[in-house]
Amino acid sequence: MTRKQALRTLGSLAGGFALFTAGAAHILWHRGCRRTGAAVLFSGLAADALMLVSFLVPNFPLTGKVFHRGRPGGNRIALTFDDGPRPPFTETILDALKRESVPATFFVLGENARRWPETVRRMQQEGHRVANHGLDHGILMFAGAAEALDQVEKTEAILRDAGVTEPCRLFRAPHGWLSPAAYRALISHGYRIAGWTKGVWDTANPGVETIVSRTDDILRPGSVLLFHDGWSGAGEEDRSQTAAALSEIIRLARERGLEFVSLEELMEEEGWI
């Protein structure tokens, strides 16, 4: 399911539920059960709003626990990248991380790992953690258990073929959207669900200075930084601004006494792993 299809489906469900609730409340009101009708309307609209928020807001706890922030009292932060690998941007990012001796966690797409296995191997060889972002960036907002497991298991197989000996058992859902059924299936499969503290929307290519400025606002102990080194599908997108912003972001973090660690290490401090 694509992002547009998921939003259309969500809109239809929310609209249908709202109409049903309003209809039931209308009938009760006109039968003299005004308090009951008002209660039904209020409860229905509240439930509708909660459903919308739980699906659309990453890290929302209704679906299940999602790790999006580490210990605020320490000095550690985690650098993460989604949607790769994609030459030449992933390589440029890896070059920058190597120069600065900074570890990162890469949530890779299976379709991209299949096309560029040598880049995935480089991630592992240079001390980064390779995590699972699904096969093709399919939206899991309404996915059942079988669909969610199919996404991660196919990606697992591709990573093994690429030579990744220890893919970490973290999954980040595309756009952060994950159905309750998908969440339960992934947890039972041994995964922990990873979110992020706050996005900087680097995919919009707002400019290097803007990416640095937006990141500067969230450079705090425990932050999980989200950037993108790739994309899904056959089109062409530009991730050069993200790569160019990295050195300054790392400098600012170190200036504040912050230490970059893998996302797993951040999670271990909180007892998630």
Tokens of 86: 């994609």
Is 82 annotated in the active site? Answer: yes
Peptide linkage before 88 cis (omega within 30 of 0)? yes
Q: CA-to-CA distance for 218 and 139, rounded, in angstroms?
A: 27
User: Residue 101: is it exposed, middle or buried by C-beta count within 10 angstroms (0-12/13-18/19+)?
Assistant: exposed
Cβ burial, residue 100 (10 Å; 0-12/13-18/19+): middle
Distance CA 267, CA 144 (A): 27
* 238 a catalytic residue: no
Pairing of the two strands 129-132 and 105-108:
parallel
Catalytic residue among 82, 83, 202, 229: 82
d(CA 124, CA 177): 27
Q: And the tokens for 162? A: 């690429």
Radius of gyration of the chain, Cα coordinates, nearest whole angstrom: 21
Q: What is the DSSP letter of 226?
A: E
Q: Which of 68, 128, 137, 228 is catalytic?
A: 228
- What are the residues facing 140 on neighbouring strands? 178
Q: Which pairing describes strands 192-193 and 198-199: parallel, antiparallel, or unpaired?
A: unpaired
Q: How far is CA 130 from the centre of its chain?
A: 14
What CA–CA distance (Å, rounded) separates 51 from 63? 10
The neighbouring-strand residues paired with 82 are: 107, 228
* Residue from 163, 129, 168 nearest 272 by CA: 168
Please give the positions annotated as active site: 82, 228
